Structure 1
């Protein structure tokens, strides 16, 4: 078997060397990832060794010291910070072309607009200089460059850099897809957000930031509206010299597949569902044993990133992602940034309030953030205090609502949902303006078009046709 793995790797290496669309750094990063994959070094977690992390390892948010009251002290802290948003994703699932971060979220503002407004107000309030970095992929780079121009008059330094571009591997003969004539975008893939660390270094941005005296980077998905700069967390990390911090939050039944933090052989580690032996999957999904999950809001020390990348020590678990391109079965190997936690010194989790996790992955999430459940203040999406239930309503919209354009067309205005528990909509349903939804509401257009009239108040109703309204 060893021979075939070596032969595969040699063939792949020779073919990759000839690809002139990517840099030498990308080629060596790719070959190193593949050789780790072929050597089968994926360590199986020994289930009996898993321990629940203590409060020292996963610190409860409410035990953090208050942020300094002195504006000058706060400025000093913030001047050590950089904000990095993962901006490699396209809005294809929601029917959009271009980067997902330019989908309009609220009041005509996009994700990116809100991020810029938030950092602008921080820089203005404290007289600090928090730069914004956007990690694009080859899919989002060109569009993002054009979009970023509109912020040229803001008080923020905006840097962009690209994550690596790796060739997809043809499963059948283990050769790179681009070497077989697939030289367009389909031949390549971005290798997951675990690539943020080497890419930050390879782009030269890491050295620039270190030279400016920056110490920590706050990394988050660009579609998580709750991922805002938190001075209490920054203060805690600087005081305790924690090189890495993952924000986790209590799991609900909606998050059962999310990765969780465990203590394992004396270190804190991310446990993903893919690493769980089949016989323990149900236990992993239970919210009794594993009570928290990874929000992908990460705080990382920049010098530590430099040290570990240069030592090639960040060997995160490899996530094989099989795909099909024009009928050809291909493999892409990816890594996740959260899995790097075990390589950093004094790494911790902080168990944060749910409000710091507000991702928009589908139009049902868009409905939440566009509704009266939230208001917008200085670019921050603030939850309506009139909502007494700490968790958000559960919303399921049918395929007719999947694309943003169709979703927006079907609502004359977004309904009031402050008192809503669950909403399930299926079929050809259209909403008038000023509709209020309360309790448990199910709307099914059994035959043809179903219009919910302007001003309708639906409370604990099951609607199957106009006669039920």
Structure 2
């Protein structure tokens, strides 16, 4: 799709911006040109909306059912060959601010005192030990998480795993009405800058020199996933399938539940597979997009990509992913962040596919309610892998809503003497000043709502099944 040409006003805006960006000493030439390029595409108003009538549901050839992927080789020597072609890359640019933490989100303790990063390292170590292979771990940091992560990875120096870190781009926030970079307005703090979304993983991998280094070692595929998705573990079936079928890109999708209705989905469009995000959907079709009857799958952001293909497309400047404008307010300035998503790159790769994977490969921890699930008896830990307890009959996890008192990790941990048993829980809603004792069991549908101004303590050993509790008399 050709970019529209810029109007005179927009051309003037862009050249003024270019000279302002040229004077920013904090960022590299690659970052400057990447940023100007992104703004130029944004101004030209490249068509972002899709023609609804052209959308088709992808066939099983395009979104391959997990069960129909080729089986993995039984010979350990063949498995070693496969794994030696692989690199694992975790997106580690996010801070744990929404959960009340100050450092990188990946260092929040998830279970048994182990952090997301500990679990990732243990998983890859056990693969390397079992097969005698060398799967390296790459962490893509942002300028927000770089310094802390460098200190944290030092503790893994004695492990049998190579860990590499690199930074994604640092772009200046745009003052919306004047169209100048925020750092030019005298804001020299971190607030003047932003990391431009995980779509930036491809150019950053190339610009950091890591891509060429990996290719020179015979690596062929990178498995990219969010560091907070505990289900995103190396999968030999997917890797084997991609190598055998020469697929340059694979997005793992999984069946939608009502909790995932806003997640992006895969469609067939003008002969190619592409990601459809809610932001691209015309208003009159949003309800249809959210329906789990028509769009049955959503993107887990577990992506498998061929490294040679990344090099080819980045060097040709061919990855023109949809731009996501993210308006914010900083120091009373209305600013704009332009971002891209890695999943949107699917349409630029050859023989790109989706794979409809089991729900167990999507276990993100976005809030303390998710932490409650993974710390409970619903899961066990084995070699760094968080494994679901077979004792739970219901394939879906319980829905959990915790009030603002539980939002921060420290407060959440303080309010539970121990995490309750939730094997037979369907839903839990907690509001108000509630404290949990030890060895509590929750079953069915449970609502616990403390009266305003009152403290409600759930005693040790309580068993609560299909009840609403507002005070001690209800227990």
Please list, as runs of the form range in 1=range in 2, the aligned pairs for 1:446-457 lying within 5 A after superposition: 446-447=451-452, 448-457=454-463
Which residue of 2 is the match for residue 194 of structure 1? 199
**1:180, distance to aligned residue in structure 2 (A):** 1.1
User: How far apart, CA to CA, are the structure 2 residues paired with 1:223 and 1:87?
Assistant: 9
Task: Kindly report the root-mean-square deviation, in angstroms, between the aligned alpha carbons of the 2 structures.
Answer: 0.6
SS in 2 for 1:461: strand
SS in 2 for 1:72: helix
Q: Structure 1 residue aligned with 2:367, among 362, 368, 392? A: 362
User: How far apart, CA to CA, are the structure 2 residues paired with 1:279 and 1:220?
Assistant: 32
SS in 2 for 1:391: coil
Deviations 1:71-122 (A, max 9, x none): 0000000000000000000000000001000000000000000000000000
Segment of structure 1 superposing worse, 213-222 or 58-67? 58-67
**1:303, distance to aligned residue in structure 2 (A):** 0.1
Q: Structure 1 residue aligned with 2:323, among 311, 315, 318? A: 318
- The answer as to whether partners of 1:16 and 1:27 remain within 8 angstroms in 2 is yes
Q: Structure 2 residue aligned with 1:67, among 69, 72, 78? A: 72
SS in 2 for 1:121: helix
User: How far apart, CA to CA, are the structure 2 residues paired with 1:43 and 1:370?
Assistant: 41
Which residue of 2 is the match for residue 394 of structure 1? 399
User: How far apart, CA to CA, are the structure 2 residues paired with 1:466 and 1:62?
Assistant: 50
Which residue of 2 is the match for residue 380 of structure 1? 385
TM-score (norm 2): 0.98
Deviations 1:339-360 (A, max 9, x none): 0000000000000000000000
SS in 2 for 1:300: strand
Deviations 1:404-445 (A, max 9, x none): 000000000000000000000000000000000000000000
SS in 2 for 1:406: helix
Uncovered stretches (5+) of structure 1, i.e. residues with no partner = none
User: How far apart, CA to CA, are the structure 1 residues paired with 2:98 and 2:320?
Assistant: 30
Please list, as runs of the form range in 1=range in 2, the aligned pairs for 1:457-468 lying within 5 A after superposition: 457-468=463-474
SS in 1 for 2:275: strand
User: How far apart, CA to CA, are the structure 2 residues paired with 1:12 and 1:391?
Assistant: 50
User: How far apart, CA to CA, are the structure 2 residues paired with 1:37 and 1:92?
Assistant: 29
User: How far apart, CA to CA, are the structure 2 residues paired with 1:42 and 1:459?
Assistant: 53
Segment of structure 1 superposing worse, 40-49 or 406-415? 40-49
Q: Structure 1 residue aligned with 2:24, among 19, 22, 28? A: 19
Query: Does 2:302 align with 1:297?
Result: yes
Please list, as runs of the form range in 1=range in 2, the aligned pairs for 1:393-412 lying within 5 A after superposition: 393-412=398-417
Please list, as runs of the form range in 1=range in 2, the aligned pairs for 1:67-466 lying within 5 A after superposition: 67-447=72-452, 448-466=454-472
Runs of 4+ in 1 over 4 A off after TM superposition: none
Query: Does 2:33 align with 1:37?
Result: no
User: How far apart, CA to CA, are the structure 1 residues paired with 2:211 and 2:61?
Assistant: 30
**Corresponding residue pairs, total:** 469
User: How far apart, CA to CA, are the structure 1 residues paired with 2:43 and 2:110?
Assistant: 43
SS in 1 for 2:180: coil
**1:336, distance to aligned residue in structure 2 (A):** 0.1
- The answer as to whether partners of 1:42 and 1:318 remain within 8 angstroms in 2 is no
SS in 2 for 1:62: helix
Uncovered stretches (5+) of structure 2, i.e. residues with no partner = 1-5
User: How far apart, CA to CA, are the structure 1 residues paired with 2:451 and 2:269?
Assistant: 52
SS in 2 for 1:195: helix
**1:239, distance to aligned residue in structure 2 (A):** 0.2
